[in-house]
Amino acid sequence: MAIEIVTSIGGKVADYLFVAVGNQLGYLFHYSDNVENLKKEAKKLAGSRDMVQKKIEFAERHGEIIFANVRSWIAEVDNIYAKAERFLEGEDKANKRCLKGWCINIRQHYRFSKEAKKQTLAISDQLREVEKIESVSSPAPPSGIISSSEVFSSGPFESRNSIKKEIMKALVDDDGVYIIGICGMGGVGKTTLVKEMGKQLKDDKIYDTVVIAVVSQTPSIMRIQGEISDMLGVTTSLPANSEIERASFLWGRIKERKRILVILDDLWGKIKLDDIGIPFGENHRGCKIVITSRSINVCDQMNCQKKFIVETLSKQESWALFKELAGSFVETSDINPIARDVAAKCGGLPIAIVTVVGALKGKNKHVWSNAARQLQKSNPTSIQGMEGIVFSSLELSFNHLENVESKSLFLFCSLFPEDYRISSKIWLDIG
């Protein structure tokens, strides 16, 4: 019996040694193939890099904002490609020296072959990454408009950082939680928060895929399915007319992703995840869902296992954001009291602060004083889930648009349904 065990163990060790030796010899036997493969992959990478760079240049000429992950990809590719070029140049020179001396340097061939294989794998990874880049940019906000990313990159937001850490912990560490609700009044910054978290979770490779779809007050299942398929990169295969067929298709595509985060933004009532085609819980433990809503009741209706409430900014945070966006002008002695009064009237809502600063930035003291009075007198009709100050700030912004064309465009856009993607061609056609 003992002899059989020893023989068995010895046989396995021999097998492992054989495989290990075979792998090392493979580098020698496939030296030329590995170097040639590296050259081919490096050429492909250069082509992909040029294609993305041309898209970037086109977007920049049109004043668009280039995504940070695209710039990071370009930088990483430049580094990898430069490394491959140096290696291939060194390998070529060493090979020529060896040929002149009519010699074969086995150690050198082994080292070059192994390194070529390693660099080829690194390039292949980048070629897979470029397939995930669906677009390189987003339109820049019009003059006077401040992007949402500026809001969270400005000022010390301890309240936001605190709740963000709690939500991230639930999304990263708690495997038993698959649906999370984030609620708070309109304009408090829920959408910005989930977008920032989604980006971070994707960049940190916690999730392989992060998708977001806007639900809105009048949800369209087919539109939601379309937005999810866009972000999955499977739109061309999505069935055209049947909600059921589309749900079945999306169910299968989402199941293929090992770790996926689905963000459903702006829910006003209960929707069935099965109708959309989102597997969760026992059907897909790698899928987690985040919903945002103005109502905690909606989070309850969606059976959220954890609920987080996003509060308004504190007085100190509001002023820090207001000052950061408005600039040092609001620190001058004659404008500072007025600016602080205007900031306080924004009620701690980031959207109100951003809108008001966009309307008043660069204006004189007289304009600031009038704005403070307008915000004081404004008495908008209350709408569910939305503070009156949001409408007051929008009214202020509208009144400070500098020409009739801008005001007409604003009013024209307001005729479209919530979250409707308005093509610039529509405006040009009727203009």
Q: Give the pLDDT of residue 33.
A: 84
* Mean pLDDT across 11-32: 55
Sign of CA dihedral 299, 302, 307, 312: negative
CA 242/CA 247 separation, integer angstroms: 8
User: Residue 130's domain spans which residues?
Assistant: 2-138
Count Cα neighbours of 370 within 13 Å in the Cβ-side half-sphere: 11
Read off the DSSP letter of residue 154.
S
Task: Say which range, 2-11, 66-75, 199-208, 213-222, has the weakest mean pLDDT.
Answer: 2-11
- Is 291 among the domain residues? yes
Task: Say which range, 170-184, 191-205, 326-340, 369-383, has the weakest mean pLDDT.
Answer: 369-383
- Is 148 among the domain residues? no
Q: Give the pLDDT of residue 380.
A: 59
Averaged pLDDT score across all residues of the chain: 80
* Mean pLDDT across 267-282: 94
Q: Give the pLDDT of residue 274.
A: 94
Give whichever of 106-120, 263-277, 387-401 has the largest mean pLDDT: 263-277
- Is 43 among the domain residues? yes
45 and 128 part of one domain: yes
CA 302/CA 187 separation, integer angstroms: 22
Residue in the structure block whose two tokens are 């007050």: 217
- Is 150 among the domain residues? no
Question: What stretches of 13-82 adopt beta strand conformation (E)?
Answer: 65-66
416 and 330 part of one domain: yes
59 and 116 part of one domain: yes
Torsion angle of C-alpha atoms 144, 147, 150, 152, degrees rounded to 10: 130
More confident residue, 405 or 389: 405
As for how many domains the chain has, the answer is 3
The pLDDT > 90 percentage for the chain reads 24
Q: Which residues contact 413 (CB under 8 A, 6 or more apart)?
A: 422
97 and 29 part of one domain: yes
- Is 227 among the domain residues? yes
CA 225/CA 249 separation, integer angstroms: 10
116 and 248 part of one domain: no
In the structure, what pLDDT confidence band is assigned to residue 171 with cuts at 50, 70 and 90? very high
Quick one: angle between helices 68-100 and 31-61, nearest 10? 150
More confident residue, 231 or 18: 231
297 and 321 part of one domain: no
Residues 90, 108 contacting (CB under 8 angstroms): no
- Is 151 among the domain residues? no
Q: Give the pLDDT of residue 224.
A: 93
In the structure, what pLDDT confidence band is assigned to residue 250 with cuts at 50, 70 and 90? very high
Is the model's pLDDT at 154 over the cut of 80? no
Is the model's pLDDT at 382 over the cut of 60? no
- Is 20 among the domain residues? yes
Q: Give the pLDDT of residue 65.
A: 77
More confident residue, 342 or 404: 342
CA 396/CA 348 separation, integer angstroms: 17
In the structure, what pLDDT confidence band is assigned to residue 181 with cuts at 50, 70 and 90? very high
131 and 8 part of one domain: yes
Q: Which residues contact 321 (CB under 8 A, 6 or more apart)?
A: 151, 154, 155, 157, 313, 350, 353
Is the model's pLDDT at 103 over the cut of 80? no
248 and 301 part of one domain: yes
Is the model's pLDDT at 153 over the cut of 60? no
Is the model's pLDDT at 16 over the cut of 50? no
* Mean pLDDT across 97-119: 72
Q: Is the pTM of this model over 0.75?
A: no
188 and 244 part of one domain: yes
Q: Tell me how crowded residue 380 is: count the other CB atoms within 10 A of its CB.
A: 15
Give the residue among 90, 99, 98, 106 at the shortest CA–CA distance from 35. Answer: 90
Q: Give the pLDDT of residue 162.
A: 86
Q: What is the pLDDT of residues 333-343, one digit of tens each?
A: 888 999 999 88
Is the model's pLDDT at 254 over the cut of 80? yes
360 and 297 part of one domain: no
Length of the chain: 431
- Is 145 among the domain residues? no
Q: Give the pLDDT of residue 13.
A: 43
Q: Give the pLDDT of residue 17.
A: 42
* Mean pLDDT across 97-125: 76
* Mean pLDDT across 356-362: 85
* Mean pLDDT across 357-382: 80
Task: Say which range, 132-141, 358-367, 418-427, has the weakest mean pLDDT.
Answer: 418-427
349 and 426 part of one domain: yes
In the structure, what pLDDT confidence band is assigned to residue 356 with cuts at 50, 70 and 90? confident
Give the residue among 211, 216, 214, 258 at the shortest CA–CA distance from 234. Answer: 211
Is the model's pLDDT at 158 over the cut of 80? no
Is the model's pLDDT at 291 over the cut of 90? yes
304 and 323 part of one domain: no
Q: Give the pLDDT of residue 378.
A: 67
Q: Give the pLDDT of residue 246.
A: 94
